[in-house]
């Protein structure tokens, strides 16, 4: 009979929810009561909406407990660990009986996230127990050539998971064909959209998979030095990366003659970025590593020809590198059996917004947007109407509900006007104003513009001014046409991907939700009842009982009326705060 294991999820999401305190409670109880079980740490398994998470593994199986606090932790230790009585009502995942959240995991195929939540990310031994470093050892033992490695990656159909979806093997081949003496390989872990949550989670939960992917990539293109560009706002990811790098060096997995491959000398360094969104663009990223201001450079030459310090350079993101060891171990065919004709494998999405099950999911390419939202995501919060998803980060596009059967692959998503990006998926409901949503994302991209290109620097500012005016009830006829014209000029005249894609939220919301723009401009109404300057609060005299509660809570004394008599709202004084609406017990107050 093996000892019971208790594993606490200590990723950033878990720590933010209080998992650190839960771990301390369990550790102290174990010591105080001299309990005989194994206590371990792991990271995020994607089920962020149920954090803190504690897994108990006994001789019957695994039980994942959700929303655990110190009180529940003590109860779990007493009933389950000491008395072998699992607390079913707290369990969110197990193979032994049904749970209400089982749909979150059904349909997922974990390749990039295969180890996240299953291993201690600070233990190289646990990584190796799950086939870690087996791929690079296979390359060394079987004397697989760089060209053969590249061909395997090409045959797998893996496309870059960080943006445009360029074939990874083809990018590696370009770098390999360049016979320069010095080459570099870079891991871009600085994407600044919701998908960056995925990057952070992999680095926190399985850093060695990224290191192994980079080592394989370096061998394939014959690079001698690697860089991981990670934003400094991810301290836990950087901490665990440094631990993993130290372990890899100690084991001889980095340094001279890596894995006994004669002449293959390779090491990896970390560059902490300052959080500039533009540094997600590869040429700006390289400028930052070189100590320059993070600004895009003109292409050509492309990085495979002249990149970091003017040497041939290959850049992939975290998710791309995390896939590489699995592909080398299991073969190209095992990977390419997932997905569609032109988009193979799986994709990680960070679900956020008006969705019940927010977190990380990894699904085969080809799944529909609706299936992600409703089967894995559990549907919309408070069962409101699904309206749209914003896919691809701040520079992505909005896809309406009626296109929810669109499959997730690069070509299908691009055809809607959105982009895959690094996998951020923001879910919106009927209360979301699409004009204000476009304004929100454009405000972000305007602030993050490096300012190098005139159209990006000034054009996004002019667009933001128009959108702000529209949402304030001051829109004019012709504003939609002005936004469209500016969008096309910015897309055509910007040097890098930030400027070229910045107008996407505006263009897609105009394309699919033009009626909302027209309602704001012509009728001075917000159909979603979201834009405060366009709202009007009314009291229904027939429903009002004169309880005076609304009058008491109004912060600007805009409501008048006597006790037990209908009240009135002075529209000149009303600040549209909505406090009266939230407090009325008789549904007498409405908004239009």
Q: What's the CATH code of the domain at 141? A: 3.40.50.11540
Instruction: Examine residue 529 and state whether it is found in any structural domain, yes or no.
Output: no
Strands lying side by side in the sheet with 184-189: 267-273, 225-231, 184-189, 313-317
- 294 shares its domain with 406: no
87: which residues sit within 8 A by CB, 6+ positions away? 65, 75, 76, 79, 80
Select from 342, 377, 375, 333 the least CA-distant residue to 359.
377
Q: Are 160 and 198 in contact (CB under 8 A)?
A: no
- 128 shares its domain with 234: yes
Instruction: Examine residue 42 and state whether it is found in any structural domain, yes or no.
Output: yes
pLDDT on residue 1: 62
CB neighbours (10 Å) of residue 103? Answer: 15
Instruction: Examine residue 573 and state whether it is found in any structural domain, yes or no.
Output: yes
Boundary residue ending a domain (277, 301, 335): 335
- 582 shares its domain with 439: no
pLDDT on residue 162: 77
Name the 3-class secondary structure at 489.
helix
| Relative orientation angle of helices 434-448 and 504-518, to the nearest 10 degrees | 150
CATH number at residue 506: 1.20.1440.230
- 391 shares its domain with 457: no
- 327 shares its domain with 183: yes
Beta-strand pair 397-400/38-42: unpaired
What tens-digit pLDDT sequence spans the chain (592 residues)? 689 999 999 999 999 999 999 999 999 999 999 999 999 999 989 999 999 999 999 999 999 999 999 999 999 999 999 999 999 999 999 999 999 898 999 889 999 999 999 999 999 999 999 999 999 999 999 999 999 999 999 999 999 987 778 999 999 999 999 999 999 999 999 765 544 677 889 999 999 999 999 999 999 999 999 999 998 889 999 999 999 999 999 999 999 999 999 999 999 999 998 878 888 889 999 999 999 999 999 989 999 999 999 999 999 999 999 999 999 999 999 999 999 999 999 999 999 999 999 999 999 999 999 999 999 999 999 999 999 999 988 888 999 999 999 999 999 999 999 988 878 899 999 999 999 999 999 999 999 899 999 999 999 999 999 999 999 999 999 999 999 999 999 999 999 888 899 999 999 999 999 999 999 999 999 999 999 999 999 999 999 999 999 999 999 999 999 999 999 999 999 999 989 998 999 999 999 8
pLDDT on residue 158: 97
pTM: 0.93
Q: Are 320 and 214 in contact (CB under 8 A)?
A: no
Q: 581: cis peptide before it, omega within 30°?
A: no
Q: Considering its fold, how many domains does the chain have in total?
A: 5
Name the 3-class secondary structure at 88.
helix
End-to-end CA distance of the chain: 66
Name the 3-class secondary structure at 563.
coil
- Cα–Cα distances (Å) from 220 to 131, 213, 352, 510, 580, in that order, read 20, 11, 36, 45, 65
Instruction: Examine residue 109 and state whether it is found in any structural domain, yes or no.
Output: no
pLDDT on residue 196: 63
- 229 shares its domain with 84: no
- 247 shares its domain with 131: yes
Give me the phi and psi of 41, to 5 degrees please. Answer: -115, 150
- 260 shares its domain with 158: yes
Q: Which residue range is the domain that position 439 belongs to?
A: 434-523
Please give, one letter per residue, the 3-state secondary structure of 187-241: EEECCCCCCHHHHHHHHHHCHHHHHHHHHHHHHHHCCCEEEEEEECCCHHHHHHH
pLDDT on residue 592: 85
- 179 shares its domain with 312: yes
Q: What is the dihedral of CA 239, 243, 248, 251, to 10 degrees?
A: 170
């Amino acid at each position: 009979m093996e000892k019971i294991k208790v594993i606490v999820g200590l990723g950033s999401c878990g720590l933010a929810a209080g998992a650190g305190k839960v771990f301390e409670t369990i550790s102290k109880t174990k010591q105080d009561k001299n309990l005989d079980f194994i206590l371990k740490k792991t990271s995020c398994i994607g089920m962020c909406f149920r954090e803190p998470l504690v897994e108990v593994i006994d001789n019957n199986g695994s039980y994942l407990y959700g929303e655990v606090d110190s009180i529940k932790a003590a109860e779990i230790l007493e009933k389950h660990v000491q008395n072998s009585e699992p607390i079913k009502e707290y369990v969110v995942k197990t193979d032994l009986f049904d749970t209400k959240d089982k749909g979150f995991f059904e349909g997922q195929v974990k390749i990039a996230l295969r180890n996240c939540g299953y291993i201690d990310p600070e233990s190289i031994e646990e990584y190796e127990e799950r086939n870690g470093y087996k791929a690079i050892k296979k390359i060394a033992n079987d004397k697989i050539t760089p060209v053969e490695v590249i061909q395997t990656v090409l045959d797998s159909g893996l496309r870059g998971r960080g943006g445009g979806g360029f074939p990874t093997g083809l990018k590696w081949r370009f770098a390999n064909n360049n016979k320069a003496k010095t080459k570099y390989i870079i891991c871009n872990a600085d994407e600044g959209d919701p998908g960056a949550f995925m990057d952070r989670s992999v680095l926190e939960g399985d850093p060695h998979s990224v290191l192994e992917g980079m080592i394989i990539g370096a061998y394939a293109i014959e690079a001698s030095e690697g860089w991981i560009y990670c934003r400094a706002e991810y301290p836990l990811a950087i901490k665990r990366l440094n631990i993993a790098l130290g372990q890899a060096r100690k084991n001889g997995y980095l340094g001279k003659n890596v894995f006994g491959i004669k002449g293959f000398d390779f090491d990896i360094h970390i560059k902490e970025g300052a959080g500039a969104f533009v540094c997600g663009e590869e040429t700006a990223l390289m400028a930052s590593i070189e100590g320059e201001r993070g600004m895009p450079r003109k292409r050509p030459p492309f990085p495979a020809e002249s990149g970091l310090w003017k040497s041939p350079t290959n850049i992939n993101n975290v998710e791309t590198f995390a896939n590489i060891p699995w592909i080398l171990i299991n073969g190209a065919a095992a990977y390419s059996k997932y997905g569609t004709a032109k988009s193979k494998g799986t994709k990680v999405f960070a679900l956020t917004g008006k969705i019940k099950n927010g977190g990380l999911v990894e699904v085969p390419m080809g799944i529909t947007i609706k299936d992600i939202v409703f089967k894995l995501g559990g549907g919309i919060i408070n069962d409101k109407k699904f309206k749209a998803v914003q896919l691809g980060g701040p520079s992505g596009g909005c896809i309406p509900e009626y296109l929810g059967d669109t499959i997730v692959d690069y070509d299908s998503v691009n055809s809607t006007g959105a982009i895959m990006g690094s996998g951020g998926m923001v879910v919106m409901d009927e209360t979301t104003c699409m004009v204000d949503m476009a304004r929100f994302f454009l405000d972000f991209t305007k602030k993050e513009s490096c300012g190098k290109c005139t159209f990006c620097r000034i054009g996004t500012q002019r667009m933001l001014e128009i959108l702000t005016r529209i949402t304030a009830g001051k829109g004019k006829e012709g504003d939609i046409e002005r936004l469209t014209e500016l969008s096309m000029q910015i897309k055509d005249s910007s040097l890098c991907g930030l400027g070229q894609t910045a107008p996407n939220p505006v263009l897609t919301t105009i394309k699919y939700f033009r009626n909302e723009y027209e309602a704001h401009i012509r009728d001075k109404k917000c159909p979603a009842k979201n834009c405060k300057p366009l709202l009007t609060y009314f009291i229904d005299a027939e429903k009002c009982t004169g309880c005076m509660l609304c009058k008491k809570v109004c912060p600007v004394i805009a409501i008048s009326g006597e006790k037990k008599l209908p009240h009135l709202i002075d529209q000149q004084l009303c600040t549209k705060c909505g406090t009266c609406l939230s407090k009325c017990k008789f549904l007498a107050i409405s908004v239009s």
